[in-house]
């Protein structure tokens, strides 16, 4: 393949990052229809699907980036591997990164910053998670034994190693989603937040039901069809998967009430139904310099105005970050909470979203972080109008890119101007992104 | 003064002999360079200062073999044997040198080239994937004539040697080292310096397998048990003969001579073995089988330089086809896509049917999975190939397809509609290729906005296995379009013939006459099995009635009717076939045809067929010779007409198309070579005899009559 990138004139840009369009796989329950897939395959198909939809000459692409939270060692840099796997021009470089659930918000942020820095780039930024293909690791003892065995030269030395052999060490360690520095899982942290912010079970279940109802309505109206690339899943390729499969249109608060708490059996309020499920899926957006995009005949959907990331003390409230990121990004851009037309607040848990909202509505919380009064009543009718991760699913690495594309589409659909995305992340972090619809 | 060799003396008195033919792009062994080599070796024999000799190539490849043209000029078995003897003698002189000799091998090292290295003390090869070592003589109906059947078994053992000699397979440097054919594998950049290092080392002891070395007992022991004693060898010989009989069905004498040379030679001394080998080589060189296979070698070589070559260069430079669109994910579409993905060409599908796409992807994966199991590819390569296949329900993204191939069913209107759709989205440089087997390309192109972009790419099923691609050009097809399409076909690993547009192009047309005649005989009462047996015994891989079952009775009937409409005075489709098709028999695909199928396996002919056709089976009335003549000569005659009509540009296209696409016996070289071998006069006489008996369809083509009258040949340059 001829490399033409460096021969031609450096394209002209205007330094304004825009989102052209996005694509994603259907989001499906892990250990289901994508059971035999891996992250590379899902991400490759999504990239290919977006390129074909946009009829974009891959020679124009500069970079592919990808967020993955639970990576497989076999494709540690999924982004670069996808380029080569698809046979795309080899000059396209690729990076894979991990900022927990804000990973693909980070890839979009990186793309936007590079463009704002003056590189008139065309970057595919997104993420993927295939928890069906989660890496199972051996214990440290087992690993050490294997390494020593491979280094042992003689048969005697090999035999000698056997005296240290412990059968127990060979039990594989299932991956844990607990915080390395607190020892609690995400769910346990969210459970603590529910108690701290007095978020009732009833409110959580109501919130979850709403999420499903809104998502089901969006699904039926065909809103997601503009995003989804149909996937034929390896190795049998029997079914063409073209719909999200976690959304339940017929769920109800009554039905959810029956469920047992998942993280605190005795006093807990979080259940499988008001939490997001383990999900497989990939999402990617095309982020471009506005002037370059126009010269290529690409029509931008939204402008990326600002991105910020924040972090708090994990011992406080692990997933409270959005309550800081949202006021902060509003402040930076001179906007009030009501100036934003549409919010996408990532739904890791209903309790976590509501905790963030309650906090922003709290004088005490806002005073502690910003030295101001509360934001006032948060406009909940503008939040997650097409449902959220509780209904649609949450493939960790892909969520940021899904929200960016979905919110861009929503601003066009509802003919609104500003959209704001906030996502909480492990490590007591969060990110927020402000976008504006392009005319 | 040597023309084809340079001798470069290195420090330490090692002579590096660089083979670099001045008259050719590749190094082949022919009389002149061999004479020079002989003189060089003679001069070394008397040189007492010499410490070692390295043979290396100044070209991309080491030595690609003997000069085939030169072999073809040897008129008698004795002359050919003598040629082999001369060459063998020179190589023996290399073996007799008192100093170590090293063959430094990079690129192809084939036939006589490999035999030269076998006479050296050491062989070292590069790790490059272009480095291939093999003895392909068998593919030309010959055996290695300059020591290959003698030195190779003595070096690597009988079984490994037979594997190479009987199949002509080529080994990489690494594989060659594993079987003991080369002594070291080195990076390309270090080849010369490592070869010089080897050139000062004596080989420890004469090595003759099977030896037992303590480190490799697991590999050596079974070899020692079988090849290490005369009884074991007799056993292998018997097994090998059985295998050869089964594989060649007795059609290829070279395989049997190879066994004779290897086994007889192994039991005797090297000089006697070499003499036996040369004699057998001589006998084979004048056989019809070898002449036919050599003819096919010339034909395929000639067709690589097709008449459109370079026409796309101005527009595309060196840029090859990187992405294709495939419309229709059926069996053919899936096959085309699989072959492309296997060669690193990206494929965009367009098919509104989700199930078809799923099946197509599964088909590809199964194919690659098999390759993985056979260790032809690695797991990541499977993933890479699968990801080169992009499924979609519509032609979105076809802007970046260099070539769009349609592989939907044979419906002119549908094809025209697809062409219009593709034209609406396609980019500046698109080509639209139709994989039709019979519809005229000009009809498909008639509705096109840019008819010069429309071309035929007639693949054969299953695409992964069948080597032929028939590219069909119309009067309007642009030369660059033809060039790019042909090059794509070659990149897909296909043997390409280029034919002019017309009913059934070449292959379908010739085959139709052949199949139609078989059907006619069937309706005359000739038994199914008698017809099939006559033609398989002649050398076709399957008989014509079986072939109709394989193609599908519905498809076959459709094609026969299309062709008979185009040539009504020469071809009438027998009416009796219709009830067979009407009975719901589709052939193998629905397990019901002229034969009975059980679980996809062909069984006996179905006796109900005769009743369906309303006839009585009449065993034995028609002799096998007459069956063969009627089918074959009609095939040959129609091929000649295709040449007259300009459908075929050259007789080479016809022979290659028939052999690689239609199963014409390679040892007859194709329909045109067949005429040359039998003699045009005989062919014309036999055709006229058949015309008297069966009708005017057997009237010989005017060109054939002309050849008979003037005793002309289609290939006057060939022996």
Give the model confidence (pLDDT) of B284-328 as tens digits. 999 999 999 999 999 999 999 999 999 999 999 988 999 999 999
Other Cβ atoms less than 10 A from the Cβ of B369: the count is: 15
Q: How far apart are CA B235 and CA B222, in angstroms?
A: 13
- Determine how β-strand A302-311 pairs with β-strand A17-24: antiparallel
**CB within 8 Å: B392 and A57:** no
Give the model confidence (pLDDT) of A99-110 as tens digits. 999 999 999 999
3-state secondary structure B255-299: HHHHHHHHHHHHCCCHHHHHHHHHHHHHHHHCCHHHHHHHHHHHH
Alpha-carbon dihedral sign for residues A164, A168, A174, A178: negative
Name every chain A residue with its beta carbon within 8 A of the beta carbon of B359: 237
B512 band by pLDDT with thresholds 50, 70 and 90: very high
Mean pLDDT for B543-556 is: 92
pTM recorded for the entire structure: 0.91
CB pairs A-B closer than 8 Å:
77
Q: Tell me which residue in B322, B365, B384 faces A1 most closely, judged by beta carbons.
A: B322
Q: Tell me which residue in B358, B388, B425 faces A87 most closely, judged by beta carbons.
A: B388
- The answer to whether B243 and B132 are in contact (CB under 8 A) is no
Name every chain B residue with its beta carbon within 8 A of the beta carbon of A89: none
Percentage of residues in chain A having pLDDT higher than 90: 81
Task: Report the residue of B370, B380, B388, B390 to disrupt the A interface, i.e. the one with the largest count of A CBs within 10 Å.
Answer: B390
pLDDT, mean over chain B: 93
Residue B685 scores a pLDDT above 60: yes
Residue A167 scores a pLDDT above 80: no
pLDDT of residue B202: 85
State the distance between the two ends of chain A, measured CA to CA, in whole angstroms.
Answer: 37
The kind and range of the H/E element at A343 are strand A342-345
pLDDT of residue B219: 66
Give the model confidence (pLDDT) of A273-324 as tens digits. 999 999 999 999 999 999 999 999 999 999 999 999 999 999 999 999 999 9
Residue B381 scores a pLDDT above 60: yes
Mean pLDDT for A353-372 is: 97
Question: Among residues B227, B277, B423, B470, which one is catalytic?
Answer: B470
**CB within 8 Å: B396 and A53:** yes
The kind and range of the H/E element at B646 are none
User: B718 phi and psi, to 5 degrees?
Assistant: -95, 150
Task: Report the residue of B387, B393, B399, B400 to disrupt the A interface, i.e. the one with the largest count of A CBs within 10 Å.
Answer: B387
Percentage of residues in chain B having pLDDT higher than 90: 81
pLDDT of residue A150: 80
A101: burial class by Cβ within 10 Å (0-12, 13-18, 19+)? buried
Cβ-Cβ contacts under 8 Å for B719 (sequence gap 6 or more): B72, B73, B75, B291
Cite the active site residues of A: 101, 424
Residue B206 scores a pLDDT above 60: no
Residue A165 scores a pLDDT above 80: no
- 3-class DSSP state for residue A225? helix
Name every chain A residue with its beta carbon within 8 A of the beta carbon of B390: 45, 48-49, 52
- Determine how β-strand B122-126 pairs with β-strand B101-105: parallel
Mean pLDDT for B124-152 is: 96
Q: How far apart are CA A93 and CA A110, in angstroms?
A: 14
Mean pLDDT for A94-118 is: 97
Task: Report the residue of B322, B397, B424 to disrupt the A interface, i.e. the one with the largest count of A CBs within 10 Å.
Answer: B397
pLDDT, mean over chain A: 93
B108 band by pLDDT with thresholds 50, 70 and 90: very high
B182 band by pLDDT with thresholds 50, 70 and 90: very high
Q: How far apart are CA A281 and CA A79, in angstroms?
A: 15
pLDDT of residue A1: 60
Strands (E), B379-486: 389-390, 403-406, 431-434, 454-459, 468-473
Q: Which residue of A has its CA nearest to B383?
A: A85
Alpha-carbon dihedral sign for residues B572, B577, B581, B586: negative
Give the model confidence (pLDDT) of A244-283 as tens digits. 999 999 999 999 999 999 999 999 999 999 999 999 999 9
Cβ-Cβ contacts under 8 Å for B674 (sequence gap 6 or more): B632, B636, B668, B683
Give the model confidence (pLDDT) of B24-49 as tens digits. 999 999 999 999 999 999 999 888 89
- The answer to whether B403 and B433 are in contact (CB under 8 A) is yes
Cβ-Cβ contacts under 8 Å for B502 (sequence gap 6 or more): B440, B509, B566, B645, B647
Is B470 among the residues known to form the active site? yes
- Find the length of chain B: 719
Q: Extract the tokens encoding B552.
A: 């599908």
């Amino acid at each position: 393949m001829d490399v033409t990138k460096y021969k031609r004139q450096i394209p002209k840009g205007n330094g304004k990052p825009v989102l052209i369009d996005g694509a994603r796989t259907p989001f499906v329950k892990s250990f289901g229809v994508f059971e035999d897939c891996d992250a590379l395959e899902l991400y490759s198909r999504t990239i290919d699907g977006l390129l074909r939809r946009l009829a974009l000459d891959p020679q124009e692409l500069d970079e592919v980036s990808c967020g993955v939270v639970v990576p497989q060692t076999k494709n540690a840099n999924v982004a670069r591997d996808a380029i080569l796997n698809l046979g795309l021009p080899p000059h396209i470089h690729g990076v894979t990164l991990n900022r927990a659930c804000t990973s693909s918000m980070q890839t979009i942020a990186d793309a936007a910053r590079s463009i704002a820095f003056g590189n008139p780039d065309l970057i595919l930024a997104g993420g993927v998670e295939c928890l069906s293909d989660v890496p199972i690791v051996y214990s440290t003892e087992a690993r050490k034994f294997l390494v020593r065995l491979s280094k042992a030269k003689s048969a005697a030395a090999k035999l000698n190693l056997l005296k240290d052999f412990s059968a127990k060490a060979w039990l594989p360690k299932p991956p844990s989603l607990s915080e390395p520095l607190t020892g609690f899982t995400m769910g346990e942290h969210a459970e603590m937040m529910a108690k701290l912010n007095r978020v009732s079970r009833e409110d959580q279940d109501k919130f979850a039901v709403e999420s499903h109802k809104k998502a089901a309505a969006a699904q039926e109206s065909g809103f997601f069809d503009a995003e989804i690339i149909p996937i034929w899943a390896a190795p049998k390729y029997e079914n063409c998967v073209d719909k999200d499969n976690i959304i339940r249109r017929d769920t109800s608060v009554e039905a959810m009430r029956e469920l047992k708490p998942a993280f605190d059996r005795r006093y807990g309020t979080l259940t499988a139904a008001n939490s997001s499920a383990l999900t497989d899926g990939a999402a990617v957006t095309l982020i471009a310099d506005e002037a370059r995009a126009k010269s290529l005949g690409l029509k931008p959907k939204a402008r990326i105005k600002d991105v910020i990331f924040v972090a708090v003390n994990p011992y406080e409230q692990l997933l409270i970050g959005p309550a800081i990121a949202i006021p902060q990004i509003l402040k930076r851009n001179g906007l009030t909470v009501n100036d934003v037309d549409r919010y996408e607040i990532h739904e890791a848990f209903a309790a976590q979203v509501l905790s963030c909202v309650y906090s922003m509505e709290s004088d005490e919380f806002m005073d502690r972080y910003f030295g101001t009064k509360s934001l006032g009543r948060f406009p909940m009718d503008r939040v997650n109008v097409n449902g959220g991760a509780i209904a649609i699913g949450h493939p960790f690495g892909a969520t940021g890119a899904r929200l960016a594309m979905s919110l861009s589409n929503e601003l066009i659909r509802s003919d609104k101007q500003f959209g704001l995305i906030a996502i909480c992340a492990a490590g007591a972090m969060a990110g927020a992104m402000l976008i504006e619809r392009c005319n | 003064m040597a023309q084809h060799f340079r001798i470069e003396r290195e420090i330490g008195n090692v002579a590096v002999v660089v083979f670099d033919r001045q008259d050719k792009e590749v190094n082949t062994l022919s009389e002149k360079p061999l004479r020079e080599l002989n003189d060089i070796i003679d001069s070394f024999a008397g040189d007492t200062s010499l410490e070692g000799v390295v043979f290396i190539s100044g070209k991309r490849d080491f030595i690609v073999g003997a000069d085939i043209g030169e072999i073809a000029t040897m008129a008698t078995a004795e002359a050919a044997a003598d040629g082999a003897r001369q060459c063998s003698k020179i190589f023996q002189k290399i073996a007799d040198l008192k100093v170590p000799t090293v063959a430094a091998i990079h690129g192809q090292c084939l036939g006589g080239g490999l035999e030269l290295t076998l006479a050296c003390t050491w062989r070292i090869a590069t790790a490059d994937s272009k480095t291939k070592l093999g003895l392909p003589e068998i593919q030309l109906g010959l055996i290695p004539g300059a020591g290959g059947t003698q030195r190779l078994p003595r070096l690597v053992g009988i079984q490994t040697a037979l594997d190479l000699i009987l199949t002509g397979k080529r080994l990489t440097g690494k594989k060659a080292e594993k079987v003991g054919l080369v002594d070291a594998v080195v990076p390309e950049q270090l080849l010369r310096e490592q070869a010089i290092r080897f050139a000062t080392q004596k080989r420890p002891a004469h090595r003759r397998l099977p030896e037992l070395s303590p480190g490799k007992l697991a590999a050596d022991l079974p070899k020692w048990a079988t090849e290490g004693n005369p009884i074991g060898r007799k056993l292998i010989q018997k097994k090998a003969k059985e295998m050869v009989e089964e594989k060649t069905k007795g059609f290829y004498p070279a395989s049997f001579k190879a066994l004779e040379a290897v086994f007889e030679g192994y039991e005797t001394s090297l000089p006697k073995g070499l003499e036996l080998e040369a004699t057998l080589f001589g006998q084979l060189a004048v056989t019809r089988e070898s002449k036919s296979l050599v003819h096919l070698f010339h034909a395929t070589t000639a067709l690589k330089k097709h008449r459109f070559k370079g026409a796309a260069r101005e527009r595309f430079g060196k840029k090859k086809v990187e992405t294709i669109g495939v419309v229709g994910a059926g069996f053919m579409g899936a096959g085309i896509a699989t072959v492309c993905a296997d060669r690193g060409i990206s494929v965009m599908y367009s098919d509104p049917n989700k199930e078809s796409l799923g099946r197509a992807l599964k088909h590809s994966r199964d194919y690659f999975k098999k390759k993985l199991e056979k260790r032809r590819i690695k797991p990541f390569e499977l993933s890479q190939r699968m990801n080169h296949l992009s499924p979609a329900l519509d032609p979105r993204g076809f802007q970046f397809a260099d070539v769009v191939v349609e592989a939907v069913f044979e419906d002119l209107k549908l094809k025209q509609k697809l062409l219009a759709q593709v034209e609406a989205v396609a980019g500046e440089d698109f080509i639209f290729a139709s994989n039709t087997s019979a519809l005229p390309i000009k009809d498909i192109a008639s509705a096109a906005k840019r008819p010069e972009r429309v071309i035929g790419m007639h693949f054969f099923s299953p695409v992964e296995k069948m080597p032929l691609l028939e590219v069909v050009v119309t009067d309007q097809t642009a030369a660059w379009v033809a060039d790019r399409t042909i090059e794509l076909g070659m990149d897909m690993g296909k043997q390409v013939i280029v034919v002019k547009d017309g009913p059934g192009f070449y292959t379908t047309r010739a085959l139709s006459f052949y199949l139609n005649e078989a059907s006619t005989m069937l309706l005359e009462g000739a038994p199914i099995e008698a017809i099939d047996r006559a033609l398989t015994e002649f050398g076709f891989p399957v008989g014509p009635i079986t072939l109709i079952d394989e193609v599908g009775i519905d498809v076959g009937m459709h094609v026969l009717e299309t062709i008979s409409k185009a040539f009504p005075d020469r071809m009438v489709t027998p009416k009796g076939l219709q009830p067979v098709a009407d009975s719901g028999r589709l052939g193998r695909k629905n397990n019901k045809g002229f034969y009975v199928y059980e679980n996809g396996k062909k069984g006996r002919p179905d006796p109900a067929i005769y009743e369906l056709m309303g006839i009585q089976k009449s065993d034995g009335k028609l002799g096998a010779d007459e069956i063969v003549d009627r089918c074959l000569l009609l095939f040959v005659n129609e091929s000649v007409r295709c040449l007259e009509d300009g459908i075929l540009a050259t007789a080479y296209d016809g022979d290659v198309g028939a052999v690689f696409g239609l199963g014409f016996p390679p040892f007859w070289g194709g329909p045109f070579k067949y005429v040359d071998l039998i003699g045009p006069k005989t062919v014309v006489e036999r055709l006229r005899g058949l015309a008297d008996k069966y009708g005017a369809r057997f009237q010989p083509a005017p060109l054939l009559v002309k050849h008979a009258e003037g005793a002309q040949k289609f290939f006057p340059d060939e022996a």
